């Protein structure tokens, strides 16, 4: 039995769109500014109109102090009503508005418009209490708050001048001028009390390259830290030096930055936001003016637990931490932070300071992070460092291929840059004492080991050149009959399926390449009946809902680049409820929401750049994770395999590959699973796998790596 597009029915256009990959601060600020400007214009127009009509404005004047709150409510309600009106229009036109849901016990269909993801609330100037004129916290002297030094994602920094006492020449707690860092109690960094940054400074403050916090406490609505005042940032120096730095200057920065990060990592933390703005020099005209410091520890996280073990690997594609321009690709993809991420960000920082620009600068819009990460992963170390001294390229090549829990070889990395420095340390633009100590401590030992280490081949994590390939998954099974067909045109699909059904086979997996279909049929599905539909649309909601009503459930889907789809629905599954979503980007937030409701991903497909994901209740899985990558998540797959997960769904666009890995509720006898990437459909390899009782479980065509 098979289903085909029915004549006379209006085409169902799927207009559901996923939340954007990320909203940048610039995009949020622009939206807020536009909304405020629109409100001002509307207010003026209303005043003019009310003057003509003689309307009393006293109520409005009383609400001026709450204008921002009123604005936000109005904007929110306007968006919601507009969304509902659009949804009503789509329903009248018969269009798909995003999500279908059916319950086996109680037949029910839900449809809901999918709006852009909301941006986390961001603190705006004017919405918080004014800064105090004087500060005294934690037993500190009284400081007068003077000019602003800077503003970051986790607070604002001002100069604090001691009201009485102190010494202009003194440093530290006795200094006449200090840096005062304010963070409002309602900011996202203070949800559970004092800022997270305080805990990090308790551990790191005063260590090599980290400024010391002398006092801290709360005054009024603000948490305040009293710190050493420092000089210009590396961004300031770069900007005042013609937006370029010499090879010697960059080499000094590289060596001393690595010595600072080595000490920070030794104490169990990764910084999480390495960039030129967060490296500061000491105060000019002091003995520390050539000393380098690393500041802003608000995003620092632990890479090891209390027992000294490395933290567990994970990926949350909706969790981005850092600065888009300098973040590692692993940070973009939401992977757990580790030491390699700081080093990759440092590599981008060095290239920026020397070349004056990075290739991904200039991307704008809500999907900026997506575009930047794609560009980073598509740029080889040779290309990125083409105009830089050779050590920068060597450094980048090493750090982008580090594994999640690799221990960085800091002395080796520091020594890469030694050849770019002059012989006399006293005339170097930046003090490199910290780096020289690291090299000196292990110099003798390293000279004996270098030749042995260099001979050891190292497997790359950033595997190579992006490519479009077949990705096939094989599971160990008891011997059974399996059949595959590929490069199948629409008109030939029916005869292949009918022949398979006649031989007792059902469709277990489908895929598409170049608008042609691949179909896997076998005798081990457990299905009792099956229908399928070829549709010009991705996905045909009306037909799916009709089959749900007949107790069929989606068992596999595929999409073609021309937007058409192949949906297979079966009886004999254990599913009791299903929901699906079509979106313009990988819908991780929706998947995460459904996980909490007891659903698991059971099928995935792509059509062009769109994703289709099917989730089911009673899937037989106890837990599920996602591996999403712009190349191929080889390291992540192996990490998951080691913790009991097995691949259960795959899909890929021309940009990204998504792998769903699941833990079965019931332990299976043979957990053997293998993956294969091939430029052509793996027909020759499949037969080799069959000889080892490994059978095709899932297949897709899209982004991989050569």
Comparing CA positions, the residue from 221, 206, 229, 230 lying closest to residue 137 is 221
pLDDT greater at residue 601 or residue 667 = 601
**Based on the domain organization, do 410 and 271 belong to the same domain?**
yes
Query: Would the pLDDT of 82 be above 70?
Result: no
Contact 602, 618 (CB under 8 A): no
124 part of a folded domain: no
The predicted-structure confidence for 321-342, as pLDDT tens digits, reads as follows 999 999 999 999 999 999 999 9
Let me know whether 498 and 585 are in one domain.
yes
> Tens digit of pLDDT for each residue in 416-457?
999 999 888 888 999 998 888 888 765 544 444 444 444 444
In terms of domains, do 176 and 306 share one?
Answer: no
Identify the CA nearest to 577 among candidates 616, 527, 620.
616
Give the residue with greater pLDDT, 78 vs 409: 409
Q: Specify whether the CB–CB gap between 693 and 669 falls below 8 A.
A: no
- Let me know whether 618 and 697 are in one domain: yes
Write out the two tokens for 29: 């600020």
Q: Compute the distance between CA of residue 613 and CA of residue 659 in angstroms, rounded to an integer.
A: 12
Domain boundary among 227, 262, 288: 227
CATH number of the domain residue 218 falls in? 3.30.200.20
pLDDT at 400: 95
Asked whether residue 560 is domain-assigned, the answer is: no
Question: Does residue 566 lie within any of the structural domains?
Answer: no
Query: Are 608 and 475 found together in one domain?
Result: yes
Query: Taking Cα atoms as reference points, which of 587, 604, 700, 702 lies closest to residue 656?
Result: 702
At 613-657, the pLDDT tens digits run: 999 999 999 999 999 999 899 999 999 999 999 999 999 999 999
* DSSP, res 641: H
The whole-angstrom separation of Cα 395 and Cα 385 is 10
Structure token pair of residue 247: 């090879």
Q: Quick check: is 424 in a domain?
A: yes
Please indicate, yes or no, whether residues 276 and 191 belong to a single structural domain of this protein.
no
Summarize the confidence of residues 69-90 as an average pLDDT. Answer: 41
Among 342, 321, 340, which Cα is nearest to 332's? Answer: 321
* Residues 371, 311 share a domain: yes
The whole-number pLDDT of residue 464 equals 58
Is 144 annotated in a binding site? The answer is no
Q: Is the pLDDT of residue 15 over 50?
A: no
The answer to whether position 95 is within a domain reads no
Which residue in this structure is represented by tokens 């890995």? 661
- On whether the pTM is more than 0.85, the answer is no
Helix or strand or coil: residue 197? Answer: helix
Among 69-83, 239-253, 288-302, 518-532, the range scoring the smallest mean pLDDT is 69-83
Give pLDDT, residue 79: 39
pLDDT of the residue at 101: 45
pLDDT band at 35 (very low <50, low <70, confident <90, very high): low
Name the domain count of the chain: 3
Residues 666 and 522 in one domain: yes
Catalytic residue among 273, 341, 366, 629: 273
Domain assignment of residue 669, yes or no: yes
pLDDT confidence of residue 62: 39
Read off the pLDDT of residues 223-249 as tens digits, 9 standing for 90 and up: 999 999 999 999 999 999 999 899 999
**Domain co-membership, 371 together with 249:** yes
208 and 149 within one domain: yes
Last residue of a domain, one of 396, 425, 442: 442
**CATH assignment of the domain containing 368:** 1.10.510.10
- Same domain (yes/no): 241, 275: yes
**Of 187-201, 320-334, 345-359, minimum mean pLDDT range:** 187-201
Interval 672-676 mean pLDDT: 96
Q: What confidence score (pLDDT) does residue 419 get? A: 93
> Tokens 């076998």 label which residue?
522
Question: Within a domain: residue 18?
Answer: no
- Region 84-108 average pLDDT: 42
Are 479 and 667 in contact by the 8 Å Cβ rule? The answer is no
pLDDT grade for 201, boundaries at 50, 70 and 90: very high
- 341 has catalytic annotation: no
- Residue written as token pair 């957990």: 671
Q: Which of 185, 209, 227 is the last residue of a domain?
A: 227
Q: Which residue has the higher pLDDT, 48 or 212?
A: 212
**Mean pLDDT across the chain:** 83
Helices (H), 180-285: 196-204, 234-240, 247-266
Q: Which two tokens stand for residue 340?
A: 């390699």
Whether the per-residue pLDDT at 18 is higher than 90: the answer is no
- pLDDT of res. 704: 82
Helices 339-355, 247-266: inter-axial angle, 10-degree rounding? 160
Same domain, 476 and 517: yes
Domain that holds residue 326: 232-442
Whether residue 71 is contained in a domain is answered as no
148 in Cβ contact with 156 (< 8 Å): yes
């Amino acid at each position: 039995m098979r289903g085909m597009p029915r004549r006379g029915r209006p085409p169902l256009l799927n207009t559901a769109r996923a939340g954007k990959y990320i909203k940048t601060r610039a995009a949020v600020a622009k939206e807020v500014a536009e909304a405020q400007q629109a409100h001002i214009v509307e207010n003026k127009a209303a005043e003019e109109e009310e003057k003509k009509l003689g309307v009393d404005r006293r109520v409005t004047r009383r609400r001026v102090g709450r204008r921002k709150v009123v604005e936000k409510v109005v904007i929110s309600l306007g968006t919601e009503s507009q969304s509902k009106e659009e949804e009503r229009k789509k329903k009248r036109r018969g269009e798909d508005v995003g999500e279908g849901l059916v319950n086996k016990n109680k037949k029910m269909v839900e449809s809901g418009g999918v709006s852009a993801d909301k941006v986390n609330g961001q603190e705006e100037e004017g919405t918080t209490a004014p800064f105090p004129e004087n500060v005294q916290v934690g037993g500190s002297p009284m400081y007068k708050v003077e000019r602003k030094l800077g503003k970051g994602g986790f607070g604002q920094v001002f100069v604090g001048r001691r009201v009485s006492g102190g010494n202009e020449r003194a440093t530290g707690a006795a200094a006449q001028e200090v840096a005062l860092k304010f963070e409002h109690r309602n900011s996202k960094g203070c949800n559970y009390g004092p800022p997270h940054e305080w805990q990090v400074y308790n551990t790191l403050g005063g260590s090599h390259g980290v400024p010391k916090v002398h006092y801290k406490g709360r005054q009024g609505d603000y948490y305040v830290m009293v710190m050493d005042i420092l000089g210009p940032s590396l961004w300031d120096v770069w900007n005042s030096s013609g937006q370029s730095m010499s090879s010697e200057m960059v080499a000094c920065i590289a060596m001393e930055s690595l010595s600072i990060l080595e000490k920070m990592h030794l104490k169990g933390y990764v910084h999480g936001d390495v960039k030129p703005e967060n490296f500061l020099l000491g105060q000019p005209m002091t003995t520390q003016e050539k000393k380098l410091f690393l500041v802003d520890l608000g995003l620092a996280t632990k890479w090891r637990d209390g027992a000294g073990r490395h933290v567990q690997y994970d990926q949350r594609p909706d969790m981005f931490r850092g600065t888009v321009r300098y973040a590692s690709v692993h940070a973009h993809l939401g992977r757990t932070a580790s030491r390699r991420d700081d080093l990759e960000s440092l590599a981008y920082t060095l290239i920026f300071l020397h070349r004056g620009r990075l290739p991904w600068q200039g991307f704008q819009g809500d999907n900026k992070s997506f575009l930047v990460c794609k560009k980073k992963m598509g740029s080889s170390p040779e290309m990125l460092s083409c105009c830089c001294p050779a050590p920068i390229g060597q450094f980048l090549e090493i750090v982008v291929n580090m594994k999640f829990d690799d221990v960085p070889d800091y002395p080796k990395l520091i020594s890469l840059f030694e050849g770019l420095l002059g012989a006399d340390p006293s005339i170097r633009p930046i003090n490199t004492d910290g780096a020289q100590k690291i090299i000196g401590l292990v110099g003798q030992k390293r000279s004996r080991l270098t030749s042995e280490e260099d001979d050891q081949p190292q497997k790359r994590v950033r595997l190579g050149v992006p490519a479009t390939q077949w990705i096939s998954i094989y599971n160990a099974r008891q011997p059974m009959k399996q059949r595959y067909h590929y490069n199948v045109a629409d008109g030939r699909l029916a005869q292949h399926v009918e022949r398979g059904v006649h031989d007792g086979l059902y469709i277990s997996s489908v895929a598409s390449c170049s608008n042609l279909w691949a179909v896997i049929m076998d005798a081990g599905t457990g299905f009792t009946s099956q229908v399928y539909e070829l549709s010009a649309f991705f996905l045909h909601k009306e037909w799916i809902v009709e089959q749900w009503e007949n107790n069929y459930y989606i068992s596999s889907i595929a999409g073609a680049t021309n937007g058409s789809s192949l949906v297979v629905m079966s009886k004999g599954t254990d599913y009791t409820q299903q929901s699906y979503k079509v979106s313009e980007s990988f819908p991780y937030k929706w998947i995460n929401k459904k996980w909490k409701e007891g659903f698991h991903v059971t099928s995935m497909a792509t059509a062009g750049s769109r994703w289709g994901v099917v989730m089911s209740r009673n899937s037989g899985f106890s837990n599920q994770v996602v591996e999403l990558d712009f190349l191929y998540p080889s390291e992540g797959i192996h990490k998951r395999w080691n913790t009991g997960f097995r691949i259960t769904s795959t899909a890929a666009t021309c940009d990204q590959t998504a792998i769903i890995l699941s833990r079965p509720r019931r332990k299976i006898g043979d957990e053997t699973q293998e993956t294969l990437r091939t430029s052509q459909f793996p027909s020759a390899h499949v037969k080799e796998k069959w000889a080892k009782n490994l059978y095709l479980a899932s297949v897709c065509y899209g982004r991989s790596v050569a």
